[in-house]
Copies of this chain bind each other. A is one copy, B any other.
């Protein structure tokens, strides 16, 4: 449970993280190296805080995901939560437990370097430095089996929004219209590809450099920070959240928090090309239930004139909000022929991605 230190491995690791985290912004008064980091939030702002696990074997696989993608997705999960509330990121914190070989072998250190590269490349684009965290040696299995431990990451994002203005899940009202950003189902479609071994070579090269969310919705999702900030600034969203668990699950969260019913127009859903090529039925399934698209789902009053895009990201009208009646399902799916069916949050649900 405790052990003699391996200071070389540990110091190499911490120094590697520290060196990679020299960036600062005006809000970070004190970064890595003391008992706590110190942040100075902008006056008149509230703080938004979210934490998200990225666990090997649950959120990624070391034999399938390039390390840059693991780092990118780790940070993107947290940034997307800030985007959903319209907040601007101030700093990220990373708790990282690693199997011993990652800290002590050259290939392990290369994995770390590529992981940090992916994380910082995304953080740099949004002015979000790594300001602290924790390191640990990851436990091997209880039984003491020979197997190495797992890579366990927990990312913490601290953001800021003008006091009282953050977008919440709970403000949707009957009569509101339902919108989403970008396109849906792409992450689930690419994930299926990532999980087939034959495509590894292509993914490794594609995911490592020059990839973007449009090409790699699973490996390199783009948190919609500018779009979320624009929604907040314009004051046009009555409720918002990010699509991390899939439309059917996240819309249920919105409906439950707002105590409303939602009707989704199946024909209106903006299907990602990677999902569309699978044919209409799998594509609809991926758009409704595929998780990790990290687009925003939001509502606005019917009287709001909605732009076709916000911060360069297309906005699509996908349904509407009605009153919730006792005994009625929380969500309804409306097909092009006019038929309706209850929409169940029964699809791809991450046990792991539901914040509490």
A→B interface (CB under 8 Å): 1-7, 9-10, 13-14, 17-18, 29-30, 32-41, 43, 46-53, 55-61, 81-82, 84-85, 87, 91, 93-95, 97, 131-143, 145, 147-148, 150, 152, 154, 156-159, 161, 163, 166, 168-170, 191, 195, 241-242, 249, 257, 291, 345-346, 348-356
CB distance from A88 to the nearest CB of B (A): 12
Determine if A41 and B51 form an interchain contact, defined as CB atoms under 8 angstroms apart.
no
Determine if A135 and B40 form an interchain contact, defined as CB atoms under 8 angstroms apart.
no
Determine if A156 and B14 form an interchain contact, defined as CB atoms under 8 angstroms apart.
no
Given A57-B1, A147-B145, A356-B17: A132 and B38 within 8 A (CB)?
A: no
Determine if A148 and B142 form an interchain contact, defined as CB atoms under 8 angstroms apart.
yes
* Chain B hits for A29, CB < 8 A: 46
Given A147-B145, A163-B40: A59 and B1 within 8 A (CB)?
A: yes
Determine if A2 and B350 form an interchain contact, defined as CB atoms under 8 angstroms apart.
yes
Determine if A51 and B356 form an interchain contact, defined as CB atoms under 8 angstroms apart.
no
* 27 chain-A/chain-B pairs, Cβ below 8 angstroms: A1-B60, A5-B349, A9-B351, A10-B354, A35-B84, A36-B157, A36-B159, A37-B48, A38-B46, A38-B48, A41-B47, A47-B47, A50-B132, A51-B95, A53-B95, A53-B97, A55-B136, A55-B152, A97-B352, A132-B356, A134-B356, A135-B356, A136-B350, A136-B351, A136-B352, A137-B352, A141-B141
Determine if A158 and B49 form an interchain contact, defined as CB atoms under 8 angstroms apart.
yes
Q: Taking A39-B48, A137-B352 as given, write out 10 further A-B residue pairs in contact, using a Cβ cutoff of 8 Å, ordered by the A residue number.
A: A1-B59, A5-B249, A36-B81, A47-B47, A51-B154, A57-B139, A59-B136, A141-B150, A142-B148, A158-B158
* Chain B hits for A48, CB < 8 A: 36-39
Determine if B148 and A6 form an interchain contact, defined as CB atoms under 8 angstroms apart.
no
CB distance from A229 to the nearest CB of B (A): 14
Determine if A47 and B57 form an interchain contact, defined as CB atoms under 8 angstroms apart.
no
CB distance from A31 to the nearest CB of B (A): 10
Assembled-state Cα–Cα distance A97/B151 (Å) = 13
Chain B CB within 10 A, most for which of A6, A35, A50, A140:
A35
The 8 Å CB contact of A142, one of B57, B97, B353, is B57
Determine if B140 and A57 form an interchain contact, defined as CB atoms under 8 angstroms apart.
yes
* Chain B hits for A2, CB < 8 A: 191, 291, 348, 350
* Chain B hits for A33, CB < 8 A: 169, 257, 355-356
Given A55-B97, A132-B355: A156 and B159 within 8 A (CB)?
A: no
Residue of B nearest to A80 (CB): B35
CB distance from A161 to the nearest CB of B (A): 8
The 8 Å CB contact of A135, one of B60, B145, B352, is B352
CB distance from A185 to the nearest CB of B (A): 14
CB distance from A34 to the nearest CB of B (A): 5
Determine if B93 and A49 form an interchain contact, defined as CB atoms under 8 angstroms apart.
yes
Determine if B145 and A141 form an interchain contact, defined as CB atoms under 8 angstroms apart.
yes
Chain B CB within 10 A, most for which of A43, A51, A59, A61:
A51
Assembled-state Cα–Cα distance A49/B38 (Å) = 7
Given A132-B355, A169-B35, A352-B134: A93 and B51 within 8 A (CB)?
A: yes
Given A135-B356, A147-B141, A351-B137: A87 and B51 within 8 A (CB)?
A: no
Determine if B46 and A133 form an interchain contact, defined as CB atoms under 8 angstroms apart.
no
Assembled-state Cα–Cα distance A47/B352 (Å) = 28
